[in-house]
Amino acid sequence: MDMSMSAQVYIMSCYQFPRVPGFNLVTKIGSGTFSEVYKAYRFVKSSKQVVAVKCIVKNELSASTVDNIIHEIEALKLLRHPHIIQMIDFSWDSNFIYIIMEYCEGGDLSVFVRSHKQLQEKICKSFLCQLASALQYLRQHNIVHMDLKPSNLLLTSRRNPVLKLADFGLAQSLKNRQKETSFRGSPLYMAPEILRRESYDASVDLWSTGVILYECLFGKPPCSSSSLKELVEDIQSKATIIIPTTKDISADCKDLLERLLQKDPNKRMTFDEFFNHPFVRISVASSNVAEPEAKLVFERARNLDKLNRRSEAVILYRQAQTLLNRLIPAVDIAMVRESQIREKLEVCSRRIQDIESAENVLKQNTLSAEAPLSRDLPTKMSPTFQELHSLSSTTPDLLSSLEIGLEGVQYDGEGQHAVALERYKAALEKLIPLLRSESKGLRRELLRLQITLWMERAEQLQIFHDLHQSNLEELQSGDASGYCSLQ
């Protein structure tokens, strides 16, 4: 009896989920050779966030496997794209490495294909264009995935799914003409040149893409055998991949398959040819590519609006408008409904108008109180500031600091906001210590009021400056919005 109970305790302990600080693991949703993936929750302020946690057993890993994992983490940290899985965080303890990622409740593409047997061409085209968008982004960063397969393509939901490329453990940077010779990937989706132990380049991802498209269309990969040996021999052979005639597919689709599934890499289509192929290009600008980013930008704008960070919200509302307007001509796929797009556009327009109207009123009030000032200060100052200026005439440090701030107001009124911000900061740096030492009285109250006004304006200008710098950096990195146009 005791032995039986001990055995039960041991068995139960073997099935306990890992404990990740800050996360509650609830369900295992996938597993690999050295890792398991769990659905988990974490609480952020008052809301519950759903995530996926990849738990990798450390003590069973070789040095090369650890290198692959580190590479996956580094890759995921840098990649920002609507069709690439987003890494949220990572950590480790004595037993596991934990990678926390966005959760995709739709499972992976392999399960989706198995449940539907064969997918309609328009659905295959939709998924392919989303994958193409992610691949173009990877090419821009000289990254080859090396392990493209349906199980590494996650879906955000079962209904109206958005595809997300995942599992970068085998990814590595390879420029277009660089060659590699190591054995990488999954045999069913592995390019023939890899199986032949020949040198290969980035086009191995194109072969894998062709295999994935073939499997989505016909329910199984083009090369499949009862044994690994037969499979490898089939892929290695020079026999041409035959496109089945049991299912009607368009001429463009058939042409793309034939050009992707060339066993000779020198005859295989290039990435540029792939991105510009009619089967890909026609729907690349369609809703299934732009919709996730438009939704993300729209939600960011709404969140900033709710936080009363309205100047920033207007900028993002305008970005959302641009993205949503792109979708209107392309609403030919069920993933996006025109009414939803137009509803979001209406919200953007209304909030931009409301915020700008409120800001114009505030601006007019501010300008009436402190019009753009010249060096002839007495005739240009607001009554309250004129009084403060007069009361400060016997205090040189205070007077000179106020005049620095007035220079900021002048530059501000001329639209030279960067210089204005620098002047406001310089004035505040001197005025705040002076306020602390100022005796109680009218001058102190007027000084406190002026410091508050300039501090609020400096904060607004700093927000604009930071947002502008952030946008510039994103544009320079080629990732301003996570949206890659393939046209």
Catalytic residues: 147
Cβ contacts of 249 within 8 Å, gap of 6 or more = 121, 217, 243
* Chain mean position to CA 277: 26
How many Cα atoms sit within 13 Å of 26 on the Cβ side?
11
Beta-strand runs (E) in 218-295: none
Please provide the size of the chain in residues: 487
Do 223 and 188 form a contact (C-beta atoms < 8 A)?
yes
Buried b (16+ CB within 10 A) or exposed e, 314-330: bbbbebbbebbebbeeb
Beta-strand runs (E) in 357-429: none
Do 150 and 108 form a contact (C-beta atoms < 8 A)?
yes
Do 204 and 144 form a contact (C-beta atoms < 8 A)?
yes
Measured CA to CA, the distance from residue 235 to residue 193 in angstroms comes to: 9
3-state secondary structure of 225: coil
3-state secondary structure of 56: strand
CB atoms within 10 A of CB 181: 11
**In the 8-state DSSP scheme, what is residue 392?**
T
C-alpha to C-alpha distances, 55 to 11, 18, 63, 79, 473, nearest whole angstrom: 20, 8, 17, 21, 33
C-alpha to C-alpha distances, 245 to 248, 249, 457, nearest whole angstrom: 7, 9, 69
* Chain mean position to CA 416: 33
Question: Token digits for 296?
Answer: 């993300």
Do 146 and 305 form a contact (C-beta atoms < 8 A)?
no
Binding-site residues for ATP sit at 58
Helix or strand (DSSP H, E) at 48: strand 47-57
Measured CA to CA, the distance from residue 194 to residue 289 in angstroms comes to: 31
- DSSP secondary structure string for all residues of 422-487: HHHHHHHHHHHHHHHHPPSSHHHHHHHHHHHHHHHHHHHHHHHHHHHHHHHHHHHTT-SSS-----
C-alpha to C-alpha distances, 270 to 13, 246, 411, 462, nearest whole angstrom: 51, 28, 53, 46
Binding-site residues sit at 58
Q: Bin 73: left if φ > 0, else alpha if -120 < ψ < 50, else beta.
A: alpha
